[in-house]
Amino acid sequence: MTLRRRIPAILLAILIIAVAATVVLTMLTPASRAASNPKIASRVLKETTFGNATEALIVLSEQADLSRAASLPTKTAKGRYVVNALRQVAARSQAPLIALFEKRGIPYQSFWIVNMIQVTGNRALIDELAARSDVKQIDANPHVRTDLPFPTALDAPDQVNRIEWNVTKVKAPKVWALGFHGEGRVVAGADTGVQWDHPALRNHYRGWNGTSANHDYNWHDATSAHSSTPIDPHGHGTFTVSQMVGDDGHGNQIGVAPGAQWIACRNMDPSGTGSPATYTECFQFLMAPYPVGGNPNQGDPSKAPDSINNSWGCPPSEGCSANTLLTVVNNVRAAGIFPAVAAGNSGSSCSSITDPPSLYDSSVTVGATDSMNRIASFSSRGPVTADGSNRRKPDISAPGVNIRGAVPGNGYQSGWSGTSMATPHIAGSIALLWQAKPSLIGNIDATETLLEKKAVHIKTTETCGGTQGKVPNNVFGYGVLNIYRAVTAP
């Protein structure tokens, strides 16, 4: 006869509850542990639930100290110092992580412009990396579709206007009359790409010698397409580069610095989708260009452009981290490269400048005006509240309503509107200013101050941040670009 001990019903119920609780805790523990770690971005946590893997950016604790760059006398010296310092810190501090990834066969991409590594991993890997003292934070790498402008007046006939109204508005022709067209200077576009052989652009491309093209050091494609030749399936990048340098010699004078050369990096695909990694990769290429398909650790900072036009945004609403791109833009500026950035098209409400990199103090943020120097309704306003700084933005404005420029297919198109269209006026004008005043080359603080001081100062009645009736303000910044005043200033 078998003896069986009977368990009281209440004890059985307690036992069942305890087992269930253990199961639940077992399921929740990884997420809870990770969620309590402030290093890990919430988007990364969300995308690694239920065993899923996601792209993540591993930002290391150690970042290079570039403070010495400010005291260096030339842009070339700044660039070499900054690039060398960034590379040295990245090579040394990333070595243990890279060894781990290679041992396990985990694909990765190393960056030095900010000390960061991109990986694709599951929650277990993310937890392991977050527990390391040499890891500062783990950001998401969302693929963000930028709200790029398209023509708003497609029914308007496209006509050759010779010098376009917006080019005249910023007084570029008056600078040309002094003999400065941007010769010897280089500007860059980080965008959807460029049709390099467009009639308005080919003769201004640094990779064109008059008979053949060499894209080494002049073009990089950070998208998955990795095109070895400059292309632009979208059109936005071609348009913005043409606003900086465009002139076909047959009446289409659409750029503010037709004597300058251009280079470019593609950071968005045909739909206008980019990611923090592609944006970072392009900044890194432009800081130290290298041959097509080459090693970014062997790029040449002496081939870096004078300015970079950034007519795009990376919204936090899509999971972009402000901090990662902040370090990138800070480092670009430290290298003596002028970072022109579109304010965004989320106006007319106050505090609508929210998207990196437009909200950064180190970005020169550009608002858009029309032919009457009125602020565009869509132009994003300050002050910046997204990061709690209450920073005044934009810094300056330029024409960005009903603009005509070059488009893929060797054509031209009118009716484009956006702060995307305003920003190239600033980026292109750097070529004119630095040709005329070589002492400013690489000195971003003095250059920005001069542009703001000599802008057409405009007050506003809008109450954003309490700057109504003042210059600067949170609508126009200091006002509308006047490059002639800046060039002729004593």
- Which residue has tokens 């400059």? 230
**109 and 229 co-located in one domain:** no
Mean pLDDT for 87-116 is 98
Which pair of structure tokens corresponds to residue 442? 């690489």
Contact 369, 426 (CB under 8 A): no
Q: What is the pLDDT of residue 449?
A: 98
- Which residue has tokens 């002028």? 338
Mean pLDDT across the chain: 92
Mean pLDDT for 44-48 is 95
Preceding omega of 133 cis (within 30 degrees of 0) = no
**398 DSSP 8-state letter:** E
Among 127, 139, 181, 191, the one annotated catalytic: 191
**123 and 238 co-located in one domain:** no
Pure H helices in 335-461: 419-436, 444-453
Mean pLDDT for 338-352 is 97
**172 and 306 co-located in one domain:** yes
Give the rounded percent of residues in the chain with a pLDDT score beyond 70.
91
Preceding omega of 438 cis (within 30 degrees of 0) = no
CATH of the domain at 425: 3.40.50.200
200 falls within a domain: yes
Q: Which tops the pLDDT comparison, 416 or 159?
A: 416
From 141, 176, 199, give the residue that closes a domain: 141
Contact 152, 418 (CB under 8 A): no
Q: What is the pLDDT of residue 28?
A: 42
Q: Which tops the pLDDT comparison, 149 or 389?
A: 389
Q: Which of 31-45, 97-111, 392-406 has the lowest mean pLDDT?
A: 31-45
C-alpha dihedral (483, 194, 285, 299), degrees to nearest 10: -100
**210 and 342 co-located in one domain:** yes
36 falls within a domain: no
Q: What is the pLDDT of residue 150?
A: 66
Q: What is the pLDDT of residue 153?
A: 57
Among residues 337, 335, 356, the alpha carbon closest in space to that of 64 is found at 335
Between strands 252-253 and 364-369, the pairing is unpaired
**243 and 119 co-located in one domain:** no
Confidence of residue 320 (pLDDT cuts 50, 70, 90): confident
Confidence of residue 156 (pLDDT cuts 50, 70, 90): low
3 falls within a domain: no
Residue 477 has pLDDT above 90, yes or no: yes
DSSP string, 40-77: B-HHHHHHTGGG--EEEEEEES-----GGGGG-SSHHH
Task: Kindly report the pTM of this predicted structure.
Answer: 0.92
Residue 62 has pLDDT above 80, yes or no: yes
Cα–Cα dist 109/117, whole Å: 6
432 falls within a domain: yes
Residue 24 has pLDDT above 50, yes or no: no
Work out how many domains the chain is built from and give that number: 2
Residue 259 has pLDDT above 60, yes or no: yes
**239 and 387 co-located in one domain:** yes
- Which residue has tokens 């990333």? 94
Residue 158 is among the residues annotated as catalytic for this protein: no
Q: Kindly report, residue by residue over 66-79, the tens digit of the pLDDT.
A: 999 999 999 999 99
Among 275, 351, 358, 420, the one annotated catalytic: 420
Cα–Cα dist 310/305, whole Å: 13
15 falls within a domain: no
Which pair of structure tokens corresponds to residue 120? 């694709």
Mean pLDDT for 282-288 is 98
CATH of the domain at 80: 3.30.70.80
Q: What is the pLDDT of residue 305?
A: 98
Range(s) of the domain holding residue 136: 42-141
**182 and 235 co-located in one domain:** yes
Residue 56 CB partners (closer than 8 Å, separation 6+) = 41, 44, 118, 119, 120, 121, 126, 138, 139, 140, 141
Among 181, 198, 234, 236, the one annotated catalytic: 236
Residue 191 is among the residues annotated as catalytic for this protein: yes
Between strands 261-266 and 135-140, the pairing is unpaired
C-alpha angle 157-158-164 in degrees, rounded to nearest 5: 130
**117 and 215 co-located in one domain:** no
Confidence of residue 157 (pLDDT cuts 50, 70, 90): low
148 falls within a domain: no
Q: What is the pLDDT of residue 3?
A: 35
Between strands 411-416 and 403-407, the pairing is antiparallel
182 falls within a domain: yes
Q: Amino acid identity, residue 380?
A: S
**Residue 119 burial (C-beta neighbours within 10 Å; 0-12, 13-18, 19+):** buried
Cα–Cα dist 74/65, whole Å: 19
Alpha-carbon Rg of the chain, whole angstroms?
25
Confidence of residue 317 (pLDDT cuts 50, 70, 90): confident
Q: Kindly report, residue by residue over 373-398, the tens digit of the pLDDT.
A: 999 999 999 999 999 999 999 999 99
Residue 19 has pLDDT above 80, yes or no: no
Residue 187 has pLDDT above 90, yes or no: yes
68 falls within a domain: yes
Residue 220 is among the residues annotated as catalytic for this protein: no
**221 and 98 co-located in one domain:** no
Confidence of residue 489 (pLDDT cuts 50, 70, 90): very high
b/e 430-461 (16+ beta carbons within 10 angstroms → b): bbbbbbbbeebbbbbeebbebbbebbbbbebe
Q: What is the pLDDT of residue 237?
A: 98
Confidence of residue 313 (pLDDT cuts 50, 70, 90): very high
Q: Which of 3-12, 34-43, 270-279 has the lowest mean pLDDT?
A: 3-12
Cα–Cα dist 480/367, whole Å: 9
Give the rounded percent of residues in the chain with a pLDDT score beyond 90.
86
Q: What is the pLDDT of residue 160?
A: 72
Q: Kindly report, residue by residue over 429-467, the tens digit of the pLDDT.
A: 999 999 999 999 999 999 999 999 999 999 999 999 999
Between strands 144-145 and 273-274, the pairing is antiparallel
Cα–Cα dist 4/246, whole Å: 93
**247 and 114 co-located in one domain:** no
Residue 448 CB partners (closer than 8 Å, separation 6+) = 338, 364, 395
Mean pLDDT for 42-53 is 94
Q: Which tops the pLDDT comparison, 36 or 404?
A: 404
Sheet containing strand 54-60, strands side by side? 108-111, 116-121, 54-60, 135-140
Pure H helices in 263-372: 276-287, 322-334
**60 and 185 co-located in one domain:** no
Q: What is the pLDDT of residue 323?
A: 78
b/e 260-284 (16+ beta carbons within 10 angstroms → b): bbbbbbbbbbeebbbbbbbbbbbbb
**266 and 373 co-located in one domain:** yes
